[in-house]
Chains A and B, each alone.
Chain A
């Protein structure tokens, strides 16, 4: 890294002189509710009273906060608080200015970090998921066609989840189905299969952004002491999720299903897949339902979002990793407005050819999500 030469380029010129020439499809954008009350207009009055009397109850002791203090308020860049008030990500105009317009974003895939899936009162959880989808549609995707929502489903109640998928499938504003990843069981388990069946039938990928609470520490090794640990353990939990989907045979039963692992990086993929292949050679009798070696599923059914960008001492090492995973697997994402967001112009210290840039920043996502 060299010291800056002191040249400041105005934002407009910088957008034109961007190292990334083509338009960007950002696979992880966080919009936010100004408050939980934003959902009330989309919920039956019965739930208004419920929210007042009981509130949201997730299976964690942390009702109004998270199990770990995040490094920045609202988990966000300190410069991302909208000038008109509200938390980061809650103001469409400011999100357009700071992200969509500034970085030449063609499409932004929305992921709300809140769901009804981990609500303990299941009917309230179902109503919450439906309300989130209505809220996203009216206030975000209909107001800016660059934004594409995920159908938020109450995955612990699969029939309700399937109904919610059917309610939105075919609507071009919704590009995928999303579930919380810290669920009651690992998401490869059969209780969740009706959801995969519906997603496959409607040709919708499953977008799995680390989220939700199930009462456990983020990994099975117990409650860690530092946010630094938790920040990485989140990626480990996403690895467990990918392993569960592969080993349970989800992709055997639903051979057209696509799953996108979001916000876990991607450098871990080869080592996890190699290890599983090794086990498979020795213990395949335990999983005769798999007709291919585990690594094949990692390279044909799973996609990975890029953020948080790995920054190895030798950036070229990333090339070896991507050669193995497949250049068609990686989807660029910023994670705006969160504090660990990646700037499309500077996240890759690895020198990419124009063709490679096109794939990672645009074409791979276009193919997975079937975007026009």
Chain B
């Protein structure tokens, strides 16, 4: 799996995302409070551009009339029919065993390491003094 440098860390602040194209695939890179995750930009249900969806929390309820909202901003809701996916795993909320959006491993690497290679950074120069988001595709 070639490793692709997709952006300087500072380009994707916490709570934001960036959609990049790597070897013909559109992939959404999400920053969740400093942790990075990458998902394929296509919903397994009917093919919407999933990574343009809204970030929501998990709504749960121990009994009627009581509800809790947890994991704010960690679920990605499809722009079309609203299926929700766990950004950390790509697992679907409604069908966690069988429906999953493809997730890719992401790491943060210092520019110094990257300078040594072998990495692919197609669109911008890598500077040693910065950290970068790297995706295995």
Contacts and interface: CB of A to CB of B under 8 A. Distances in A.
A7 B46 contact: no
A5 B44 CA distance: 10
A295 B40 CA distance: 47
B42 A339 contact: no
Contacts of B53: 78
Chain A interface mostly helix, strand, loop or mixed?
loop
B3 interface: no
A71 interface: yes
A340 to B, nearest CB: 6
B79 A345 contact: no
Contacts of A7: 24-25
A78 B79 CA distance: 5
Given A8-B41, A8-B42, A72-B82, A343 B102 contact: no
A78 B40 contact: no
Contacts, number: 62
Q: How large is the interface on B (under 10, 10 to 19, 20 to 34, 35 or more residues)?
A: 20 to 34
Chain B interface mostly helix, strand, loop or mixed?
loop
Interface in B85-104: 90, 95, 98-102
B62 interface: no
B24 to A, nearest CB: 6
A346 B46 contact: yes
Nearest to A343: B46
B80 A8 contact: no
The 8 A-B residue pairs with the shortest CB-CB distance in the complex, in nearest-first order: A8-B25, A343-B46, A78-B79, A79-B79, A346-B46, A3-B100, A4-B102, A6-B102
Interface of A: 1-8, 10, 71-72, 77-79, 339-343, 345-347
Interface of B: 21, 24-26, 40-42, 44-49, 52-54, 79-82, 90, 95, 98-102, 137
